[in-house]
Structure 1
Amino acid sequence: MAHIHVESMQTAVPTRVALERGRTLPIAVTGLPIAAAELQHRFRAVLYYRDRLEGEAMAQLEQAAWVQDSLSEALADHPKMAGRLWRRHAGGGEGPWDWDVKLCDAGVRLLMASMDTTLTAFLEMEDRESKEPALALWTDVEAKDPEKCSPFVMQLTRFQGGGYAIGACCSLLHTDPLSFINFLKSWARTHAQLRAQNKLVPNQMIKYTRYFRNPGTTTRSLLQTINCLGQTTEMIRDIGDAPGRRALAEACVAQASEKLGVEKPTRFTVLAGDGLGGLNVLRSCAGCDGETTTTPPPPGHLLRDACWQEAGLEEAMLDGYKPVHVSCSIVSPGAEEGIVVVMQAGAGAELLISATVPSRK
């Protein structure tokens, strides 16, 4: 059985103080308040790269330092990605909690790890998808103290014999998947620019890309399954006006359920940006009939199938190489209801919508 060894855990912080530092972006919830489990619903991306660093220990350490430096530089231009989920009492007193995303320089958790199997062997595993969570390890965001937890985690994992994976996770309440993908592409460009300018300062004493001495305490066997209740996600593009988002979400859930051959969930949560940087969380019920017939989209909306590849993450070059494979997924541990994420696909009216439904039939 393959094992992964976590060699270090660090924090990449922005290289500059952002002008928007301290600003808060509201998370407006309609319906039931946000539960602790929902803080763990996240988007995960894993990018696999080949390289020529087999056996070159110093070059591998330098690569890890480059990743940390370029991530810190990219965060300076994207203060939200270095921020934290924040909660406060509604109205300043006792009662339900209000949630925000607070822009700050708290930084991003960065893991360095190694895998005791080759990149080719890992990519050829029949159950690779169930093992990918080990390449983007996640630490739960605590409901009581969310500001102490990073909602964005990145991981560099080197494979035996050369090649590596960049795994990244981000809470859906913090950043939508499309914005997260755009940040990863921006980071890749920043990484290339810094490498071209040779801005890395070698032998910095404060950099520790490997400091766990006891492999037994940080080695994990790869899990056989992601969780006991699986989810499947369907990507949909929509061209239409903003009104009717609830009905649009229901139509997407129905279409995803029908195409994936699973029972349509009666309850689902819609996550949609408010156009000003904030997030709207809407609870909804899809007729409560459990049927798998397709619900037509509201007038003025045209739905078509889409995929994560349309976001262009396959073009994110690192050290002159494009990824040989990219995997993207919505992770919603234990969720028994649907999750719909509505994302603005561009400057026009087109939307990219992901509909995630439990895979129990």
Structure 2
Amino acid sequence: MAATATTLVHVESKQTAVPTLVTGAGRTLPITVPSGPPLTAAALQRRFRAVLYYGGAGDAEQQQQVEEERAAWVKESLSAALTDHPKMAGRLRRRRGGGDQDDEGLWEVKLNDNGVRLVLASVDMSMTAFLEAKDLQSKEAALALWTDVDWQEPEFCAPFFMQLTRFQDGGYAIGACCSLLLADPLSLVDFLKAWARTHAKMQAQMNHVAPAVIQYTRYFQSPGAARRLKSVPLDSCSAAVAPTTVLFRAAAAADAQDRHALAAACLDQAVEKLGSNAKKPPRFAVLAADGGSSGGMTVARTCDYVWDGETTAPPSRSRHALRAAYWHEVGLGEIALDGSEPVHVSCSVVSPCADEGLVVVMPAASGDDLFISATVPN
């Protein structure tokens, strides 16, 4: 009996999209770690992943033309959008302390215009079949490939990847994978919205140089003509055990201590909601965007988790009125490309710290409340 053919993911190109204008030299955004141990190598890999699926062109001739030009459009518009969002093109690095040596406990984002890593890929599968897969979430790592940030030399590693993947039926996916130390999920979504607006504006104005199209079309020609950097089985890209994330909304916390209690309350409710599908973590970390002018990120030290043995939560936790929230509320489903909104959107928080919970606290667009993700191990 013949063996079932293995579905392959083909990486056809790895490029870098850099801002079209230079960012002011020396600009940095702080990553504040108030107390506790330095960030670990695993903590650097905490990231948010979003995958947006779009349908293909109507007929074969139109589909061929779109595939030939899409890669060039994506890179050109991405470079233009980065001009107004220089943080997304920056790099993580250690800050220098009082001496000449780097301080392991101090980190920052250097706005150095190093750019976003852009991956062009294809899958030997139709988008329809891919979306119908029972283990869809585990396979989506192949649509938003990630390379770990090197703890020793982080400044040489991109903390933000975008990937354009085409399917055999003409559908395609835009995958975005971003370190949570660079941007929280809402900040990443805001950037993707800005990029989509720039993309549409450039297409409408035809602000594009013809030779650039020719430069990149070779990546989306027939499979035999494209030079593939590597081809790997689809299942090999899957994460072994993916954590589970529950979303909440709450009134803005007044201070860091109140924020810690809010984070603990979110984890309490997340574990209760998930039941046997979640494991109570012995400790947790809290990430929060700096509400001030710095635009940086605050990483609360990893805290030992004290679980309440009673049926009700402690007063410091229970006084927070938490409301259920969902990823569709952030507007990813409204990001239109080539005149069409996505047919499906998927989001996930990826954390390799198997024994830790992770809470990301984000100011909502209204400014009066918070959007909170609580991620617990399975």
TM-score range, shorter chain: over 0.9
Match in the other structure for 2:360? 341
> 3-state SS of the aligned residue for 1:199?
coil
Out of 232-241 and 107-116, give the one that drifted further. 232-241
Q: Distance in 1 between matches of 2:217 and 2:44?
A: 29
1:56-205 to 2 correspondence within 5 Å?
56-94=63-101, 96-204=104-212
Query: How far 1:52 moved relative to its partner?
Result: 0.7
> 3-state SS of the aligned residue for 2:187?
helix
Query: How far 1:291 moved relative to its partner?
Result: 8.3
Is 1:47 matched up with 2:52? yes
Task: Return closer, same or farther for 1:118/1:142 CA change in 2, 3 Å cut-off.
Answer: same
> 3-state SS of the aligned residue for 1:36?
coil
Out of 321-330 and 297-306, give the one that drifted further. 297-306
Match in the other structure for 1:256? 270
Query: How far 1:59 moved relative to its partner?
Result: 3.0
Task: Return closer, same or farther for 1:242/1:201 CA change in 2, 3 Å cut-off.
Answer: same
Checking the alignment, whether the CA contact within 8 Å between 1:8 and 1:208 is kept in structure 2 is no
Which residue identity does 1:9 align to in structure 2?
Answer: K
Q: Distance in 1 between matches of 2:184 and 2:315?
A: 25
> 3-state SS of the aligned residue for 1:91?
coil
Structure 1 residues 58-114: Cα deviation after superposition (integer angstroms, max 9, x where no partner): 431211100000000000010101111111343234553410011121110001111
Which residue identity does 1:10 align to in structure 2?
Answer: Q
Gaps of 5+ in 2: 1-5, 220-224
Which residue identity does 2:273 align to in structure 1?
Answer: K
Match in the other structure for 1:13? 18
Q: Distance in 2 between matches of 1:281 and 1:106?
A: 24
Query: How far 1:207 moved relative to its partner?
Result: 3.4
Match in the other structure for 1:23? 27
Structure 1 residues 200-249: Cα deviation after superposition (integer angstroms, max 9, x where no partner): 1112389335469554x511111268433331000000114422001000
Checking the alignment, whether the CA contact within 8 Å between 2:242 and 2:350 is kept in structure 1 is no
> 3-state SS of the aligned residue for 1:302?
coil
Checking the alignment, whether the CA contact within 8 Å between 1:130 and 1:226 is kept in structure 2 is yes
Is 1:4 matched up with 2:9? yes
> 3-state SS of the aligned residue for 1:335?
coil
Query: How far 1:263 moved relative to its partner?
Result: 3.2
Checking the alignment, whether the CA contact within 8 Å between 2:141 and 2:239 is kept in structure 1 is no
Which residue identity does 1:305 align to in structure 2?
Answer: A
Match in the other structure for 1:35? 40
Q: Distance in 1 between matches of 2:251 and 2:233?
A: 44
Structure 1 residues 2-38: Cα deviation after superposition (integer angstroms, max 9, x where no partner): 211111110001111234x431111111211101111
Which residue identity does 2:123 align to in structure 1?
Answer: M
Query: How far 1:130 moved relative to its partner?
Result: 1.0
Match in the other structure for 2:373? 354
Checking the alignment, whether the CA contact within 8 Å between 1:71 and 1:187 is kept in structure 2 is yes
RMSD: 2.3
Which residue identity does 1:152 align to in structure 2?
Answer: F
Aligned length: 357
Residue 248 of structure 2, aligned match among 231, 236, 240 = 236
TM-score (norm 1): 0.92
Which residue identity does 1:39 align to in structure 2?
Answer: L
> 3-state SS of the aligned residue for 1:96?
strand
Which residue identity does 2:231 align to in structure 1?
Answer: T
Checking the alignment, whether the CA contact within 8 Å between 2:145 and 2:163 is kept in structure 1 is yes
Gaps of 5+ in 1: none
Q: Distance in 1 between matches of 2:42 and 2:309?
A: 24
Q: Percent identity?
A: 57
Task: Return closer, same or farther for 1:295/1:131 CA change in 2, 3 Å cut-off.
Answer: farther
Q: Distance in 2 between matches of 1:239 and 1:315?
A: 26
Q: Distance in 2 between matches of 1:268 and 1:164?
A: 36
Checking the alignment, whether the CA contact within 8 Å between 2:163 and 2:176 is kept in structure 1 is yes
Q: Distance in 2 between matches of 1:326 and 1:91?
A: 46
Q: Distance in 2 between matches of 1:292 and 1:171?
A: 36
Which residue identity does 1:302 align to in structure 2?
Answer: A
Q: Distance in 2 between matches of 1:271 and 1:170?
A: 14
> 3-state SS of the aligned residue for 1:160?
coil
Which residue identity does 2:137 align to in structure 1?
Answer: E
> 3-state SS of the aligned residue for 2:333?
helix
Task: Return closer, same or farther for 1:234/1:294 CA change in 2, 3 Å cut-off.
Answer: farther
Out of 347-356 and 55-64, give the one that drifted further. 55-64
TM-score (norm 2): 0.88
Out of 34-43 and 282-291, give the one that drifted further. 282-291
Checking the alignment, whether the CA contact within 8 Å between 1:264 and 1:292 is kept in structure 2 is no
Task: Return closer, same or farther for 1:32/1:184 CA change in 2, 3 Å cut-off.
Answer: same
Q: Distance in 1 between matches of 2:213 and 2:195?
A: 24
